[in-house]
């Protein structure tokens, strides 16, 4: 890993280390900011002592990051338009990274300090959107092109509907438990258990389910939220030291050949569908500025881009053999081809089989650009895991006692946690970022309604206000910081 950073100018190296420290600080804060959501019910119900619950939650967060892949990481990265991703420039990268991280960290710390279960996912996404919109304004790009709005809509939908689904599903699970075992001790609160049964802990099976579901929430939280940190670090590395990270330099000869073959097959795919796609892609026609420029992609440049990529990769068995400029060009070609293929997949006229083939080609095209070195994954896992082990007290009380007018029963805790683990696990399968905070707190609220315990208006209003304000606040903050940083750098 050290050799990747050798030969860098001192200011670039210092900037890089600071940027990496910012990302890891964000993940550390994310850890203690969101820990309470994973362990709140298990601590409140006294299923586990706080120190053990927090320790094991940290361990499972760590494992979740290690084993979670990079699908969600690049869903976050691709919130930025492809034009911003192919514009690799050290000064520009620094402004982008520090602006969005400073905004995200500031909001996270503020909401944690006041014990508000705000969402780190909303915080990060708002910060990225702010940078994309500010970049559009600074460079006179239409706002419609300043952000990858299709990806933003997909992610926004997952962030909006997952808490609603959490509320409903957790309520239904509790109703099912009450129907199945109406007289069970799992419907007691910890206070009732202590007063009526003189017992400190939940019944054995309830305790086991509470512990297992809490660790499952921790694992899926790590695999979802941890990937956001991985995506941020890759933005940092590609933005500040592009020559070393625009492509996976550890790619095998087979992986490189697979990328080249996918490019050839993509050309054959377009020729096969010339009648449908010929005009959109300007197939067989001469186009001004044949290759994609440094700052934009154009579907009508697809043919020359494919030819340039195939020629550049001819005889290449190791990306190390490419010059720094050629690596940057290869990534730009691959990202533009993928972006065009994504647009082609939405055009009418292609049957389902052809669209399926195109999706497979896109995966092969991006196999050596959408990656993360193991040391990046390990660093994020450690930061999130260690952060999980501190700072949990402020939010536990909010989750356990301040959402409902009565304390949480064991059955409510199980319902909320099982629902949260299932919802986030499902989101991971589809590479969609969701908010652990909002899914769990909504799940708890749903069980309070189903249990006829009532909701505390003040707490619910505070959580909803944080939910509503997080996106606009972080968009404005990161956009302002990016504008100032860009002006200072003269870009």
> Which H, E and C letters describe 233-299, residue by residue?
HHHHHHHHCHHHHCCCCCCCHHHHHHHHHHHHHHHHHHHHCHHHHHHHHCCCCCCCCCCCCCCCCCH
Inform me whether the pLDDT recorded for 59 exceeds 60.
yes
Encode pLDDT of 165-221 as tens digits: 999 999 999 999 999 988 898 988 888 888 888 888 899 999 999 999 999 999 998
How many Å apart are CA 140 and CA 142, to the nearest integer?
6
Give the highest mean pLDDT range of 76-80, 290-294, 302-306.
302-306
Tokens 């001469």 found at: 286
How many Å apart are CA 103 and CA 481, to the nearest integer?
8
Q: What's residue 390's pLDDT?
A: 73
Q: Are 65 and 384 in contact (CB under 8 A)?
A: yes
Q: Could you give the angle at the alpha carbon of 370 between the alpha carbons of 246 and 16, nearest 5°?
A: 45
3 state DSSP class of 166: helix
- pTM for the full model? 0.83
How many Å apart are CA 196 and CA 350, to the nearest integer?
67
Structure-model confidence comparison of residues 269 and 455, the more confident one: 269
Average pLDDT of the segment spanning 111-116: 72
Q: What's residue 175's pLDDT?
A: 95
- Non-local (6+) Cβ contacts of 269 within 8 A are 354, 357, 358, 361
How many Å apart are CA 273 and CA 312, to the nearest integer?
26
Poorest-confidence range of 27-36, 54-63, 257-266, 473-482? 27-36
Q: What's residue 461's pLDDT?
A: 75
Q: What's residue 7's pLDDT?
A: 66
Average pLDDT of the segment spanning 84-112: 77
User: Helix, strand, coil shares of the chain as percentages rounded to 5?
Assistant: 75, 0, 25
Q: What's residue 253's pLDDT?
A: 94
Q: Are 435 and 159 in contact (CB under 8 A)?
A: yes
Inform me whether the pLDDT recorded for 402 exceeds 90.
no
**94: pLDDT confidence band, cut at 50, 70 and 90?**
confident
Structure-model confidence comparison of residues 65 and 403, the more confident one: 65
């Amino acid at each position: 890993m050290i050799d990747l950073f050798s030969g860098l100018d001192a200011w670039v190296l210092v900037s890089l280390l600071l940027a990496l420290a910012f990302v890891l600080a964000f993940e550390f804060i994310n850890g203690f900011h969101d820990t309470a959501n994973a362990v709140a019910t298990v601590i409140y119900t006294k299923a586990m002592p706080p120190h053990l619950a927090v320790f094991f939650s940290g361990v499972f967060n760590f494992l979740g990051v290690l084993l979670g892949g990079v699908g969600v990481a690049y869903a976050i990265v691709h919130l930025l338009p492809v034009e911003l991703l192919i514009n690799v420039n050290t000064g520009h990268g620094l402004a982008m990274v520090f602006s969005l991280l400073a905004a995200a960290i500031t909001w996270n710390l503020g909401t944690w300090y006041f014990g508000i279960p705000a969402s780190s996912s909303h915080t990060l996404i708002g910060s990225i959107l702010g940078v994309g919109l500010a970049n559009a304004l600074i460079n006179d790009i239409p706002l419609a092109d300043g952000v990858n709005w299709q990806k933003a809509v997909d992610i926004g939908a997952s962030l909006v509907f997952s808490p609603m689904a959490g509320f409903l599903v957790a309520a239904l699970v509790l109703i099912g438990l009450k129907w199945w075992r109406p007289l069970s001790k799992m419907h007691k609160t910890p206070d009732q258990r202590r007063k009526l049964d003189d017992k400190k802990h939940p019944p054995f099976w309830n305790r086991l389910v509470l512990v297992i579901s809490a660790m499952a929430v921790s694992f899926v939280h790590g695999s979802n939220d941890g990937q956001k940190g991985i995506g941020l670090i890759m933005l940092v590395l590609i933005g500040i030291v592009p020559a070393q990270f625009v492509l996976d330099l550890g790619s095998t000869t087979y992986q490189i050949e697979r990328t080249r073959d996918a490019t050839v097959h993509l050309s054959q795919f377009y020729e096969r569908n010339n009648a449908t796609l010929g005009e959109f892609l300007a197939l067989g026609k001469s186009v001004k500025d044949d290759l994609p420029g440094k700052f934009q992609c154009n579907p009508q440049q697809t043919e020359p881009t494919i030819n340039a990529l195939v020629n550049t990769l001819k005889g290449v068995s190791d990306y190390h053999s490419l010059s720094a400029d050629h690596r940057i060009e290869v990534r730009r070609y691959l990202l533009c081809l993928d972006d065009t293929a994504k647009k082609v997949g939405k055009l009418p006229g292609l049957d389902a089989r052809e669209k399926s083939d195109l999706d497979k080609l896109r995966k092969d095209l991006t196999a050596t650009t959408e990656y993360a070195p193991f040391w990046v994954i390990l660093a994020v896992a450690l930061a999130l895991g260690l952060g999980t082990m501190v700072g949990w007290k402020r939010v536990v009380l909010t989750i356990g006692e301040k959402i409902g007018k009565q304390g949480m029963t064991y059955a409510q805790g199980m319902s909320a946690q099982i629902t949260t683990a299932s919802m986030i696990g499902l989101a991971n399968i589809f590479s969609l970022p969701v908010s652990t905070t909002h899914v769990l707190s909504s799940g708890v609220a749903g069980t309070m309604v189903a249990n006829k315990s009532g909701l505390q208006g003040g707490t619910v209003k505070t959580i909803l206000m944080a939910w509503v304000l997080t996106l606009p606040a972080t968009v404005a903050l990161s956009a302002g910081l990016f504008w100032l940083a860009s002006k200072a750098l003269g870009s």
